[in-house]
Amino acid sequence: MCFAIGSIFSVAASLIDVPFWGQVVVFAVFSALSIFCVRPLAIKYLHRGEDKRASNVDALIGRVGTVIDAIEAGGSGYVKIDGDEWKAVTQDGLAIAKGNKVKVVSMDSIVVTVIPCD
Protein backbone atom coordinates (compact mmCIF):
# COMPACT_ATOMS: atom_id res chain seq x y z
CA MET A 1 0.00 0.00 0.00
CA CYS A 2 2.81 2.40 0.87
CA PHE A 3 4.55 1.82 -2.46
CA ALA A 4 1.24 2.32 -4.25
CA ILE A 5 0.88 5.72 -2.62
CA GLY A 6 4.44 6.58 -3.66
CA SER A 7 3.63 5.42 -7.19
CA ILE A 8 0.53 7.61 -7.39
CA PHE A 9 2.53 10.69 -6.46
CA SER A 10 5.27 9.67 -8.90
CA VAL A 11 2.70 9.39 -11.72
CA ALA A 12 1.34 12.81 -10.78
CA ALA A 13 4.89 14.18 -10.99
CA SER A 14 5.34 12.64 -14.44
CA LEU A 15 2.15 14.33 -15.64
CA ILE A 16 3.61 17.74 -14.83
CA ASP A 17 6.86 16.94 -16.72
CA VAL A 18 9.16 16.35 -13.74
CA PRO A 19 12.39 14.67 -14.96
CA PHE A 20 12.83 10.92 -14.32
CA TRP A 21 15.26 11.40 -11.41
CA GLY A 22 12.69 13.73 -9.81
CA GLN A 23 9.98 11.10 -10.19
CA VAL A 24 12.23 8.59 -8.42
CA VAL A 25 12.79 11.07 -5.58
CA VAL A 26 9.05 11.77 -5.33
CA PHE A 27 8.37 8.00 -5.22
CA ALA A 28 10.97 7.44 -2.49
CA VAL A 29 9.85 10.38 -0.35
CA PHE A 30 6.12 9.63 -0.49
CA SER A 31 6.68 5.88 0.02
CA ALA A 32 8.77 6.61 3.13
CA LEU A 33 6.19 9.08 4.44
CA SER A 34 3.48 6.47 3.89
CA ILE A 35 5.43 3.88 5.84
CA PHE A 36 5.68 6.20 8.84
CA CYS A 37 2.29 7.92 8.62
CA VAL A 38 -0.23 5.67 6.86
CA ARG A 39 0.98 2.19 7.84
CA PRO A 40 0.48 2.60 11.64
CA LEU A 41 -3.08 3.81 11.06
CA ALA A 42 -3.80 0.95 8.66
CA ILE A 43 -2.43 -1.64 11.07
CA LYS A 44 -4.46 -0.20 13.93
CA TYR A 45 -7.63 -0.27 11.82
CA LEU A 46 -7.09 -3.70 10.20
CA HIS A 47 -5.97 -5.56 13.34
CA ARG A 48 -8.64 -4.48 15.79
CA GLY A 49 -9.52 -7.01 18.49
CA GLU A 50 -6.92 -9.59 17.51
CA ASP A 51 -4.94 -9.23 20.72
CA LYS A 52 -7.49 -11.41 22.51
CA ARG A 53 -6.93 -14.38 20.21
CA ALA A 54 -4.89 -17.23 21.76
CA SER A 55 -1.79 -18.22 19.87
CA ASN A 56 1.18 -20.56 20.13
CA VAL A 57 1.15 -22.46 23.43
CA ASP A 58 -1.94 -20.69 24.77
CA ALA A 59 -3.95 -22.07 21.85
CA LEU A 60 -3.32 -25.65 23.04
CA ILE A 61 -5.09 -25.18 26.37
CA GLY A 62 -8.52 -26.75 26.14
CA ARG A 63 -7.67 -28.84 23.05
CA VAL A 64 -8.38 -32.57 22.96
CA GLY A 65 -5.70 -35.08 22.00
CA THR A 66 -5.07 -38.83 21.92
CA VAL A 67 -2.59 -40.66 24.13
CA ILE A 68 -0.04 -42.34 21.83
CA ASP A 69 2.33 -43.57 24.56
CA ALA A 70 0.64 -44.53 27.85
CA ILE A 71 0.96 -41.97 30.62
CA GLU A 72 2.26 -43.78 33.69
CA ALA A 73 1.01 -43.05 37.22
CA GLY A 74 3.21 -40.26 38.57
CA GLY A 75 5.17 -40.29 35.32
CA SER A 76 4.81 -39.10 31.78
CA GLY A 77 3.79 -40.27 28.34
CA TYR A 78 3.01 -38.74 24.96
CA VAL A 79 -0.14 -37.31 23.42
CA LYS A 80 -0.92 -36.27 19.87
CA ILE A 81 -2.73 -32.95 19.48
CA ASP A 82 -3.56 -31.62 16.00
CA GLY A 83 -0.81 -33.77 14.45
CA ASP A 84 1.91 -32.73 16.93
CA GLU A 85 3.30 -34.99 19.64
CA TRP A 86 3.73 -33.58 23.14
CA LYS A 87 5.19 -35.02 26.32
CA ALA A 88 2.35 -35.22 28.82
CA VAL A 89 1.68 -35.69 32.51
CA THR A 90 -1.68 -36.00 34.23
CA GLN A 91 -3.01 -33.35 36.56
CA ASP A 92 -3.77 -35.82 39.37
CA GLY A 93 -0.88 -38.25 38.76
CA LEU A 94 -3.10 -41.12 37.57
CA ALA A 95 -2.25 -43.40 34.66
CA ILE A 96 -3.99 -43.06 31.28
CA ALA A 97 -3.84 -45.88 28.74
CA LYS A 98 -2.82 -45.54 25.10
CA GLY A 99 -5.67 -44.54 22.78
CA ASN A 100 -7.68 -42.59 25.37
CA LYS A 101 -8.76 -39.02 24.70
CA VAL A 102 -7.36 -36.31 26.96
CA LYS A 103 -7.87 -32.58 27.36
CA VAL A 104 -5.00 -30.12 27.88
CA VAL A 105 -5.41 -28.04 31.04
CA SER A 106 -2.00 -26.35 31.25
CA MET A 107 1.55 -26.30 29.92
CA ASP A 108 4.95 -26.11 31.56
CA SER A 109 7.64 -25.50 28.93
CA ILE A 110 7.15 -28.36 26.44
CA VAL A 111 5.18 -30.65 28.78
CA VAL A 112 1.39 -30.55 28.65
CA THR A 113 -0.74 -31.35 31.68
CA VAL A 114 -3.83 -33.32 30.74
CA ILE A 115 -7.01 -34.75 32.20
CA PRO A 116 -9.02 -37.66 30.82
CA CYS A 117 -12.03 -36.75 28.66
CA ASP A 118 -15.34 -38.15 29.78
d(CA 92, CA 105): 12
Record the pTM. Answer: 0.54
Q: Are residues 91 and 110 in the same domain?
A: yes
Q: Are residues 61 and 45 in the same domain?
A: no
| Number of domains present in the structure of the chain | 2
pLDDT tens for the chain, residues 1 to 118:
889 999 999 999 999 999 999 999 999 999 999 989 888 888 888 877 655 665 567 778 888 999 999 999 888 999 999 888 999 999 888 899 999 999 999 988 889 999 998 6
Q: Are residues 72 and 106 in the same domain?
A: yes
The DSSP letter of residue 100 is -
Report pLDDT for 39.
83
Q: Inter-axis angle of helices 20-46 and 2-15, to 10 degrees?
A: 150
Q: Are residues 100 and 70 in the same domain?
A: yes
